[in-house]
Amino acid sequence: MARLLIVEDHPLFREALESAIHVALPGAEMVEAASIDMAVCRLSSPPRFDLILLDLSTPGTTGLSGVIRIRKTAPRTPILVVSAYQDPQLVAHVLTLGVAGYISKSTSKEQLADAISAVLRGEVHVQGGAISPATRRARLPAHDLLKRLHELTPQQLRVLDLIRCGLQNKQIAYELGICETTVKVHVSEILRKLRVMSRTKAIIEMEKIDFVNLIGEPRAPAAGTETVMTAGTTTGREAPLA
């Protein structure tokens, strides 16, 4: 029996996803997580999941940092992003980070079921069933840099963002509530992983990929609970996909 993790903070849309999963995988076990922290917690405990459905706007994530955290926690589990954002450059960034699929929240229940089945077969699926030429072209320039960013920890991403804003180590330490020595260690690791020699070079690299939109604005994790259920179980009012 397939086991899926649904990372989505809106209850009605979670129910819609569960309904689509029931079409693709009758009898599948579904586990809900209303934040990235909750998802990481679930992924850290056995048994493993066969697929992760992820909303990029889930609380606890900033930009694509949620994708990075989940990929680090469960590198062998395919991720299908279900998002309201359809910018080709964003889709390209997500696919470069190793996501197996990207589909719109406005898609039909049947199309979502097809996407789930395709990803579980080992295919890479985007809206329409194939990677468009525009998306392929958009992937190329930033591919290597995004792979290097994938090596950074969430805290290192925060430090890098503050470096980009022009803050010095003492100011970064104050902003993050850590000691200056720890900041220095993070900065050294950031430069090593990005393969640059200075903070200025790191900032220049970030400008190549629109780093502000990549990591997004900080969001406070939302309180919530996780629920385990079997496909077909009634959990409330259904919110059909378009």
Distances (CA, A) of 50 to 14, 79, 160, 221: 18, 9, 33, 25
Half-sphere exposure of 201 (CA within 13 A, CB side): 11
What is the separation, in whole angstroms, between the first and last Cα of the chain? 28
Task: Give the rounded percent of residues in the chain with a pLDDT score beyond 90.
Answer: 31
Q: Mind listing the pLDDT tens digit for each residue in 162-171?
A: 998 889 999 9
Is residue 22 a contact partner of residue 232, using CB atoms and an 8 Å limit? yes
Is residue 21 a contact partner of residue 4, using CB atoms and an 8 Å limit? yes
Task: Name the nearest CA neighbour of 48 among 68, 31, 60.
Answer: 31
Give the pLDDT score at 124.
85
Q: How many residues does the chain have?
A: 242
User: pTM for this structure?
Assistant: 0.63
Local structure of residue 217 (DSSP, 8 states): -
Give the pLDDT score at 232.
40
Domains annotated on the chain, with CATH: 3-135+220-230 (3.40.50.2300), 151-215 (1.10.10.10)
Give dist(CA 60, CA 11) in Å, integer.
17
Local structure of residue 130 (DSSP, 8 states): S
Is residue 226 a contact partner of residue 37, using CB atoms and an 8 Å limit? no
DSSP letter string over 134-176?
A: HHHHHHHHHHHHHHHHTTS-HHHHHHHHHHHTT--HHHHHHHH
Give dist(CA 158, CA 214) in Å, integer.
12
Give dist(CA 132, CA 242) in Å, integer.
22
Give the pLDDT score at 55.
92
Close Cβ partners of 193 (under 8 Å, ≥ 6 residues apart): 148, 151, 152, 156
Give the chain's mean pLDDT: 79
Q: Mind listing the pLDDT tens digit for each residue in 40-64?
A: 999 998 899 999 999 988 887 766 7
In what side-by-side order are the strands of the sheet with 228-230?
A: 125-126, 101-104, 79-83, 51-54, 3-7, 29-33, 228-230
Flag the least confident range among 89-93, 134-138, 182-186, 201-205: 134-138
- Confidence class of residue 233 from pLDDT cuts 50, 70 and 90? very low
